[in-house]
């Protein structure tokens, strides 16, 4: 399969709602044939990504394949050179920044804060798009902060200084901040990087179970297979393959995209309710 053979990544059924007005395909956040150039070359090259609302999508690909750039384009942080990102059918550039900030939460790789803040104060930053300028936080704001801390297991760390946290704890605080934002779309760039295995599983379970659309750049193919409904594999900025983890994560793909030998078997999960690929890497 060459990149040219890959149909644009669109998992949305193109059925039309009963009112005949809204196509399902227009709901949510989607990128259509977006490109981005840097250093005189295309680092994202005609990528289409249309996650069905509520799904968990894994963004896979080697270092430098364009995952972070695509997430920034989706978040509206970087403008595409061509192509368009839409939110419920409206081009992102026409949607106000505040509206985007209320809808879309981003957890960057290695997010940091310069000022001295407590865990709770960092999480409260997630409420800014929902607050009027200069107005104090409301009971609803505080409830959202409390719930985000609970969901991420950070309630008893609320008063601790951000600067005294471990890398993994900081990562969880960033997730909590994103949850406090009450987004409908959540974009995460390698959120499991600093986490031990238990916290990797906890975090991805939490994200996959949230009733919102998540796009997660991930390195770990087994985690992608466990938690993602769909995966998109980038290779040198191009969408190389897309589909369910079982369709996409194969020995051939791993050899071609990552240059690594692997044995892929099928595992049954949850009493055979569904199967997923399980990947074991071999020494080259
Ligand atoms: N501002 C920039 N100038 C030049 N090259 C860039 C710039 N930003 C990203 N790149 C290059 O684009 C490619 C894709 O980067 P990135 O999206 O960070 O990939 P990934 O997240 O998959 O590792 C990399 O080769 C990177 O070096
Ligand atoms: Mg990256």
Torsional sign, CA 202, 176, 188, 58: positive
State whether residue 33 is helix, strand or coil: strand
Ligand 1 atom with the smallest distance to the CA of 190 is 21
- What's the pLDDT score for residue 14? 44
Q: Residue whose CA is closest, atom 12 of ligand 1?
A: 43
What residues have a C-beta under 5 A from ligand 2, the ion? Answer: 67-68
Band of pLDDT at residue 135, cut at 50, 70 and 90: confident
Number of residues written out for the chain: 284
β-sheet with 9-10: strand ranges across: 9-10, 41-50, 29-38, 82-87, 90-91
- 61 pocket-lining for ligand 1 (C-beta < 6 Å): yes
Ligand 1 atom with the smallest distance to the CA of 234 is 22
Domains recognised in the chain with CATH numbers: 3-15+23-281 (3.40.50.300)
Give the Cα separation of 89 and 263 in Å (integer). Answer: 41
Band of pLDDT at residue 13, cut at 50, 70 and 90: very low
Closest CA to 80 of 25, 31, 41, 40: 31
Tokens for 158?
Answer: 């609320």
Q: Residue whose CA is closest, atom 2 of ligand 1?
A: 38
Q: Are strands 104-107 and 9-10 parallel, antiparallel or unpaired?
A: unpaired
Q: What value does the mean pLDDT of the chain take?
A: 89
Q: Residue whose CA is closest, atom 8 of ligand 1?
A: 38
Indicate the top mutation candidate among 38, 187, 224, 233 to test ligand 1's pocket, ranked by most ligand atoms within 8 A of CB: 38
Most confident of 161-165, 235-239, 273-277: 235-239
Query: What is the average per-residue pLDDT within 259-263?
Result: 97
Query: What is the average per-residue pLDDT within 20-29?
Result: 63
Give the Cα separation of 87 and 260 in Å (integer). Answer: 37
Query: What is the average per-residue pLDDT within 171-183?
Result: 94
Q: Tell me how crowded residue 251 is: count the other CB atoms within 10 A of its CB.
A: 16
- Radius of gyration in angstroms for the set of CA atoms belonging to the chain, rounded to a whole number: 19
- 40 pocket-lining for ligand 1 (C-beta < 6 Å): no
Spacing, Cα 43 to ligand 1 middle (Å) = 6
- 218 pocket-lining for ligand 1 (C-beta < 6 Å): no
- What's the pLDDT score for residue 271? 65
- 43 pocket-lining for ligand 1 (C-beta < 6 Å): yes
């Amino acid at each position: 399969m060459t990149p040219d053979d890959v149909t644009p990544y669109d998992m949305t059924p193109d059925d039309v709602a009963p009112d005949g007005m809204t196509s399902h395909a227009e709901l949510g956040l989607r990128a259509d044939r977006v490109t981005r150039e840097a250093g005189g070359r295309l680092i994202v090259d005609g990528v289409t990504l249309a996650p069905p609302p509520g799904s968990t999508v894994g963004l896979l690909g080697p270092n430098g394949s364009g995952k972070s750039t695509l997430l920034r384009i989706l978040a509206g942080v970087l403008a595409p050179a061509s192509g368009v990102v839409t939110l419920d059918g409206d081009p992102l550039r026409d949607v106000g920044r505040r509206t985007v900030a209320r809808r879309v939460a981003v957890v960057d790789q290695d997010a940091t804060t310069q000022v001295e803040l407590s865990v709770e104060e960092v999480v409260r930053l997630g409420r800014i798009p929902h607050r009027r300028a200069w107005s104090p936080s409301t009971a609803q704001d505080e409830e959202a902060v409390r719930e985000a801390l609970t969901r991420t297991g950070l309630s008893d760390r609320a008063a601790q200084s951000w600067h005294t946290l471990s890398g993994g704890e900081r990562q969880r605080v960033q997730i909590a901040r994103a949850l406090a934002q009450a987004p409908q779309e959540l974009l995460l760039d390698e959120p499991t990087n600093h986490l031990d295995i238990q916290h990797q599983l906890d975090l991805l379970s939490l994200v996959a179970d949230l009733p919102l659309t998540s796009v997660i750049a991930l390195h770990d193919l087994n985690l992608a297979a466990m938690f993602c409904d769909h995966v998109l594999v980038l290779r040198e900025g191009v969408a190389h393959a897309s589909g369910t983890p079982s369709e996409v994560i194969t020995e051939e793909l791993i050899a071609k995209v990552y240059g690594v030998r692997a044995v892929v078997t099928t595992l049954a999960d949850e009493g055979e309710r569904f199967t997923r690929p399980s990947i074991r890497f071999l020494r080259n």
